Amino acid sequence: MKTAFLFPGQGSQAIGMGQALAEAFPAARAVFEEVDAALGQKLSRLMFEGPEAELTLTANAQPALMAHSLAVIRVLEVEKGLDLARDAAFVAGHSLGEYSALCAAGALNLAETARLLRIRGDAMQAAVPVGEGAMAALLGAEWELASEIAREAAQGAVCDVANDNGGGQVVLSGDKAAIDRACAIARERGVKRAIPLPVSAPFHSRLMAPAAERMRAALADAEIRAPQVPVVANVTAGPVSDPEAIRKNLVDQVCGSVRWRESMLWLGASGVTRFIECGTGKVLTGIAKRLVAGSDAVSIGTPEDVAAHGD
């Protein structure tokens, strides 16, 4: 039986995330303290107590989600004897979760990962003035139909497929007017629902080009090592272990599509039958169960989860 560890992306954050874990396990507290020190900010207090509006800011949500995910990994290592190199065939993370996966696999150290995600969050927020970009989820549309709708809606503006999450959920991103057109076209084409998303910027679209350049500069100075287990990259939906390929993928990922459906299908085809989502929420657990027939998928984010699923 092959196991893959999964790491959630933005949108899963919630007040109280990681708090019970920190109260129960010194290993978790140590992760939050190291992230706080790396950022020069009491991010853990914001995670535990809010306010929600501040936690939701991209520059805070991204390192916060990573911190909770890595706290879970460290607790499993100390309390349950997890050895990722021995116990995992692959790791994968959704958008910012790819940084969590790389950190868990030893390609990036924790402090560097926190700093990179703070830069990434700031850069993505600053790339497009608030109100000019938008994102929308098409429910009941597969990749091909969503791509057709995006092309038809663009009309000279940007309308890109940002996330292919599988199970008939595809997210579009781009100029607000184009996204509004795409929602209208989707309804005309029989898509079940077209839902504008409450996001602060058009992530994973060509409008993020300024952020990609900032990440290129930040990643050029980052020490990236070969991961202990292969990381399935968002932009290629395949495994990567070469540090320079990882560096390139992380730059390309800022504007590129998150090919999560293909990533999960690739993992299933590679023999993975067990998925363990580490951190906040259960979104990726649900997707894995839908996409990989017969798979066992669990999420671990609390002391109770560690006790129930940590072996």
Architecture of domain 2-127+207-309: 3-Layer(aba) Sandwich (3.40)
Q: What local confidence, expressed as pLDDT, does residue 109 receive? A: 98
Average pLDDT over residues 56-73: 96
- Of the residues 44, 69, 95, 257, only one is catalytic, namely 95
**pLDDT-derived band at 295, boundaries 50, 70, 90:** very high
Q: Which of 69, 100, 204, 257 is catalytic?
A: 204
Residue 311 has pLDDT above 90, yes or no: no
Q: What's the pLDDT tens digit per position in 170-179?
A: 999 999 999 9
Q: Where in the chain is the domain with CATH 3.30.70.250?
A: 133-199
Q: Which CATH class is domain 133-199?
A: alpha beta
Asked whether residue 123 carries a pLDDT value surpassing 90, the answer given is yes
pTM for this entry: 0.96
95: annotated active-site residue: yes
Judged against a pLDDT cut of 80, whether residue 310 lies above it is answered with: no
Residue ranges, CATH 3.40.366.10, the chain? 2-127+207-309
- Cα–Cα distance between 160 and 204 in angstroms, integer? 8
Residue 263: what pLDDT? 98
**What secondary structure does DSSP assign to 38-86, as a single string?**
HHTS-HHHHHHH--HHHHHSHHHHHHHHHHHHHHHHHHHHHHH---HHH
